[in-house]
Amino acid sequence: MTDLKKTPLFDLHETLGAKMVPFTGYLMPVQYPLGVMKEHVQTRTHAGLFDVSHMGQVIVRAKSGTQADAALALEGLVPMDILGLGVDRQRYAYFTNENGGILDDLMIANRGDHLFLVVNAACKQADIAHMRTHLSDTCTVEELEDRALIALQGPAAQDAMATLTNATSEMKFMDVANVNLMGVDCWVSRSGYTGEDGYEISVPTSHVEELTKALLALDAVEPIGLGARDSLRLEAGLCLYGNDIDVETTPIEANLTWAIQKVRRNGGARAGGFPGAEKILDHIENGAPRRRVGLRPDGRAPMRDGTQLFADGTSDNSIGIITSGGFGPTVEGPVSMGYLPQDLAKVDQEVFAEVRGKRMSARVVALPFTPANFKR
């Protein structure tokens, strides 16, 4: 336990009565006294505040001083259009490896004179080393250790932010902006990991507790732990790195092809040029052997990650696996995501999961399980 790190909000979590658990090297709040189910519903109906300070915040800056040089350099590591990413805009991305697998997924924002990246906590050291190895000729890669990150999510998020600033209400989904909150320069994006409207706020460590307390003082805002964060993202059909995507899954298998812009695909002006391009572009052209799908169990039993999938009630050969699963409080039933062979990865397909030695039926459904509620 002594090796576990604490975020700058650790003391506040304790004061709020959070149950703290180890998570990717940090002691993080898994739930508050409200409980996972009510925290989930709170975020869908009002607003929830999440401490995500464990995530990595990284600045990539061109040594030449020309932003396009940094964008083009980063395009050597991700299959996204970074050169075409507008100023004050953010984009979902992933680092790929030579086999076409996914090293991590991340957000990339164009903040004018630099690129701002938010990466997963468990991968941040590897991501930074990866970027330094491949980008150092042209870019500096700086990990920000003096900034915390919080997320305010839910339909009441806009009004909650409006109590502190008039600069965020007009932002659209995936816009980013420098916003002065309580006298401090914050970097705000209109994005999140819940399927709801909301913001992610990078704030200097010295001021995060004050800002968090101000937001929590509002009637519509409650603190939300990792438990509800997981059920919210699962209902939203969003991948958890290490569960739903990893070095063994190509982006096409992971059903994340939408994140690869045309300019990086065959026929595009900057086609390929990222690790694993040959395999990834081949999967786009010719299909992948398997695909990530949404699954609704027919019964009430949750089908959790690691559960094997079968074509019928008796056959011995597993055809796939569940990578995330649990109870969806908004769906009011069990929900799962997993991988199936391409020919079975179609809506309404019946498959069987082996739960505690028993075969239980489930059906492929379209993702997300709950409609996204973004400010477009």
Partner 1 sequence: MKYTEEHEWLRLEDGIVVVGITEHATEALGEIVFVELPETPIDVSKDDDVVVIESVKAASDILAPLDGEIIEVNSILIENPALVNEDPLGTAWFFKMKLKDDGELDGLLDEDAYKELIS
325 in contact with partner 1 (CB under 8 A): no
One residue of 4, 5, 37, 331 binding partner 1 per CB under 8 A? 37
Other Cβ atoms less than 10 A from the Cβ of 2: the count is: 3
Residue in the structure block whose two tokens are 């011995």: 316
The pair phi, psi for residue 203, each rounded to 5°, is -135, 140
Q: Which is nearer to partner 1, 63 or 304 (CB)?
A: 304
CA atoms within 13 A on the CB side of 143: 18
Give the C-alpha separation, 293 to 140, whole Å. Answer: 38
One residue of 1, 2, 300, 348 binding partner 1 per CB under 8 A? 300
Give the C-alpha separation, 263 to 113, whole Å. Answer: 23
If we measure between CA atoms, which residue out of 355, 358, 359 comes closest to residue 312?
Answer: 359
357 in contact with partner 1 (CB under 8 A): no
Stated as kind and residue range, the H or E segment containing 192 is: none
Min dist. Cβ of residue 219 to partner 1 (A): 23
334 in contact with partner 1 (CB under 8 A): yes
Q: Helices 67-74 and 124-135, interaxial angle, to 10°?
A: 110
251 in contact with partner 1 (CB under 8 A): no
> Across the strands, what pairs with 358?
355
Contacts of partner 1 in 61-90 (CB under 8 A): none
Instruction: Return left, alpha or beta for 65; rule: phi > 0 is left, psi -120 to 50 is alpha, else beta.
Output: left
Min dist. Cβ of residue 297 to partner 1 (A): 10
| Piece in contact with partner 1 (CB under 8 A), picked from 142-150, 162-170, 235-243, 295-303 | 295-303
268 in contact with partner 1 (CB under 8 A): no
One residue of 48, 237, 326, 338 binding partner 1 per CB under 8 A? 326
| Piece in contact with partner 1 (CB under 8 A), picked from 33-41, 42-50, 170-178, 234-242 | 33-41
Q: Which is nearer to partner 1, 30 or 214 (CB)?
A: 30
Min dist. Cβ of residue 301 to partner 1 (A): 5
Q: Helices 226-235 and 36-45, interaxial angle, to 10°?
A: 50
If we measure between CA atoms, which residue out of 301, 300, 306, 191 comes closest to residue 244?
Answer: 306
Q: Which is nearer to partner 1, 40 or 61 (CB)?
A: 40
The footprint of partner 1 (CB under 8 A) covers 31, 35-37, 227, 231, 300-302, 304, 326-327, 329, 334, 356
